[in-house]
Amino acid sequence: MDGMFVSCDGCACPDFQGFTLLMPAVSVGNVGQLAVDLVISTLGMSKVGYFYTDCLVPMIGNNPYATTEENATELCINAEVYAVPSKELVVLQIRSPFIKNKYRPFCKTLLSWVKSCGFSKIVLLSSSHAYQRNDQQLHGTSLRYLLSPAVEKTIGNVIERLSGRELEQIAAFPGVNGDEKVFHIPGGGITKLLFTESCSKEIPMVVLLKFCSEGDNIPDAHALADYLNEWLQLTANQQSSSSSVKCSRWKIPSSWKLLFGSGLPPALF
């Protein structure tokens, strides 16, 4: 068994028919995962279950979206499912890396779950190494999108008008034969495989991606979440009442306080 959805209250799978599934690729700088954190935290999404899988490194921790002392002690694991039915949105958050050679079985399980739930589309948030861009990718925005054929007709013209550009394909064999073009997504983790599989299985899939480097990737996560929001309008910009200052539309989850470790223990000095 490679994986399955287990609902929180032990009931059958909730009805996700026609919902959008949002998830991160575990990719460079963890940008997709951080952007998904912002969405879950800002929309106050409730956990509806988890994805039971042997394809990810096992992990357990405290509630990353704690808002009170009471809910801070709830536990979280490596792949959990959140929902906000009023926005017809389901989020699969992945918190640990893939086990070597387990990309393929994970994709297979995930896509069969997507089909059985009747999701209207998958949106994958991803990232790719900035230093491996080709010449045409160095200009303008660092945001890119990919659309599987099943969504191209319906939302292609909407996505085209946003701030990103379609991810450029590159020659499969540079200098040999310029005709065959492929996608090259270095650092993109599961992105390329999941996208290719979605294309061949006629699953509606949108990839939103940002070129970035390892380091403080919080600004990248905000930029990717903003790009998603430009399209899906998940949350409005908060205008502060006293002035015209634009506050961030995203609510920072409590777990981010420890993103770079908890600081130096005073006992050192």
Report which of residues 135 and 199 the model is more confident about.
Answer: 199
Quote the Cα angle for 154-206-167, to 5°: 105
How far is residue 185's CA from residue 255's CA, in Å, rounded to a whole number? 29
Q: Residue 156: give the domain boundaries.
A: 15-257
Fill in the amino acid letter for 123: V
Q: Is residue 1 part of a domain?
A: no
pLDDT at 1: 45
* 65, 253 contact by CB (below 8 A): yes
pLDDT at 260: 58
| Domain total of the chain | 1
CATH code of the domain in which 200 resides: 3.40.50.10900
pLDDT at 153: 85
Q: Is residue 263 part of a domain?
A: no
How far is residue 264's CA from residue 178's CA, in Å, rounded to a whole number? 54
Q: Is residue 212 part of a domain?
A: yes
Query: In sequence order, what DSSP letters do the residues of 132-148 get, joined into one string?
Result: G--GGGSSS-SEEEEE-
Least confident of 71-75, 164-168, 175-179, 181-185: 175-179
Across 199-208, average pLDDT: 95
Least confident of 31-35, 37-41, 114-118, 246-250: 246-250
What does DSSP say about strands 20-24 and 89-94: parallel, antiparallel, or unpaired?
parallel
Give pLDDT tens digits for 3-55.
688 888 766 667 899 999 999 999 999 999 999 999 999 999 999 999 888 99
